[in-house]
Amino acid sequence: MTSNISSDASSLLGVVLEGIVYGFSILMFIGTIWALTYKQRIQDVSRPIAVVAILLFILSTTHIVVNTIRVEDGLVTYRNTFPGGPAAFFADLTQQTFIINNILYVLQTLLADGVVIYRCYVVWQSVWIIVLPSILWCGVAVTGICAIYSFFQVTSNSGNPYANEIGQPEQLITAYFALTMATNLLSSGLLAYRIWMIEHSASTIRSKKDTMMPIVRVVIDSCVLYSVVLFIALICFVCSNNGELVIVDMLIPTISIAFYMILIRVAINRKHHVHSSIIGMASEMEQDNLQKRPMQFLQFHISQFTHDDSTAVHASRTGDEVLDSER
């Protein structure tokens, strides 16, 4: 199948759509920081989650900046001087901005998938459960690095990026997309399944209405969002459609949004559990006080009843004496 959109047009469309999705990712980043820091002391803020959120934001911001520079170079700076014009410029795999963009994309993918694998380890508390996801993650790293290295070896510049990628780059990119999708689906599936198992087991013995099902739904939603975009990019690449360039540009902020969804839900759930724990501790302390001082309450009520009875007896005696005197 031939490309139905030129490489220069797809690059321009990609940076515009990436800017729109990036705007949503900024809002999600602000929401993540708010969920982590609102009414929290500095020492209570989850530093690992904050570091991951900041790194995702830095990578996506750097990518859109480099992508904007790349579009400006191709359409403005080197429009009349680059051999073959803008179409050949954007099809050139050895361009510095193209290499930097792909490095940022690989780093973003490795960071996001690494977070999900680590979460799997945390909820399963077993190294064996993350062996296969870790192997797939290493495969993503290897294919990503090798694909970027293969771009430097490309010598042809036909004006069609897919013609320039024929051979080793094409195989590596296909493997990279496939491994990334497999890693995300497997890791997110294991994470959601484990949380569901814990929730199902606890629901039979728990009297409170606290639930972790919102986290399961968010994990599944983010996994579906990420996987669908990856699948579209893979299909476009296999079909040699320049729409893949647009999807990959949108994929960077989409990765950030997908994982901000999880980070926000985890932060909110953590706050909820802390609040529930404080209330639970208060109620337990109140129950302990009632159990430790039953005799005090009993003595108080007995003395009160005794006082009332003595008062009543004294009143009846006084009344009898008054009646006798009247007689």
Alpha-carbon Rg of the chain, whole angstroms? Answer: 33
Amino acid at 277: S
pLDDT tens-digit readout, 62-79: 999 999 999 999 898 888
Tokens of 235: 């299909």
Phi–psi pair at 210, nearest 5 degrees: -60, 140
Residue 74 contacts residue 89 (beta carbons within 8 Å): yes
Structure token pair of residue 139:
């495969």
Rounded to the nearest integer, the mean pLDDT of the chain is: 77
H/E run at residue 300: helix 294-326
- Under a CB-based contact definition with an 8 Å cutoff, are residues 8 and 75 in contact? yes
254: tokens are 């989409």
- Per DSSP, 43 falls in state G
- The total of other beta-carbon atoms located within 10 Å of residue 149's CB is 13
Give the closest residue to 187 by CA, choosing from 226, 213, 147.
Answer: 226
**The pLDDT of residue 300:** 38
pLDDT at 81 over 50: yes
Q: Which of 233, 242, 237 is nearest to 91 (CA)?
A: 242
pLDDT of the residue at 155: 66
Length of the chain: 327
Mean pLDDT of all residues in 6-15: 88
Angle at 294 between CA 292 and CA 299, to 5 degrees: 135
Give the pLDDT score at 241. 84
pLDDT digits (tens, 9 = 90+) for 270-297: 655 544 443 344 444 444 544 444 444 3
pTM for the full predicted model: 0.76
Kindly state the DSSP code that residue 4 receives in the 8-state scheme: S
Q: Give the mean pLDDT of 113-126.
A: 88
**CA nearest to 103, candidates 68, 136, 144, 152:** 144
For residues 246 and 16, what is the distance between their CA atoms, to the nearest angstrom? Answer: 9
Higher-confidence residue of 269 and 71: namely: 71
- The dihedrals phi and psi of 6, each to the nearest 5 degrees, come to -70, 160
pLDDT band at 169 (very low <50, low <70, confident <90, very high): confident
Residue 121: is its pLDDT beyond 60? yes
What is the 3 state secondary structure string of 135-176?
Answer: HHHHHHHHHHHHHHHHHHCCCCCCCCHHHHCCCHHHHHHHHH
State yes or no: pLDDT of 307 exceeds 50. no
The Cα–Cα gap between 73 and 281 comes to: 62
54-63, 70-79, 158-167: range with highest mean pLDDT? 54-63
Of 1-5, 28-32, 165-169, 214-218, the one with minimum mean pLDDT is 1-5
